[in-house]
Amino acid sequence: MADDIHHIFAAFYRGKNIDSIPGSGLGLTVAKTCVIVHGGNISVTSEPGVGTTFTVTERYQALMAFITFFFFGLSDIIEVQTGAWWRPWWLLVWKSLCVFSMGALLINYLRSRSDSR
């Protein structure tokens, strides 16, 4: 069982102590992928005879993505009201900052994907 902990997030891996419990071995792989895509991390600790603990931590990227897309949506509302994305001048600055933030989020996401492999 101690060897299982090192492979627990691998696709199609099934622990040695499952006996006749049905499953595909994809559950924790899918869970980890979802957590990573949303900017978080998942880890596991286990003590034989005591239990297993899964810890999910959320990074700031998820909050930053929400804020960025929220403000970008607000800027679209103002754009519709004014009829142009460059008028007033501060709208252009606002949209530029949102696009810059989206680029930074994309770079962080791509880095986290390469780190997790």
Residues 54-86: tens digit of each pLDDT:
887 777 777 778 888 888 888 888 888 888 877
58's CB contacts (< 8 A; 6+ apart) are: 38, 39, 40
Residue 101 domain boundaries: 60-116
Residue 2 pLDDT greater than 80, yes or no: no
- Regarding whether 27 and 9 lie in a shared domain, the answer is yes
- Regarding whether 78 and 102 lie in a shared domain, the answer is yes
**What is the signed CA dihedral for 102, 108, 114, 117, rounded to 10 degrees?**
-110
Report the C-alpha gap between 116 and 7 in whole angstroms.
14
State in Å, rounded, how far the first CA of the chain is from the last one. 24
pLDDT tens digits, 29-62: 888 887 887 777 888 888 888 888 888 777 777 7
45's CB contacts (< 8 A; 6+ apart) are: 52, 53, 55
- Regarding whether 64 and 109 lie in a shared domain, the answer is yes
- Regarding whether 66 and 39 lie in a shared domain, the answer is no
Domain count, the chain: 2
Residue 88 pLDDT greater than 70, yes or no: yes
- Regarding whether 69 and 99 lie in a shared domain, the answer is yes
Residue 82 in 3-state DSSP?
helix
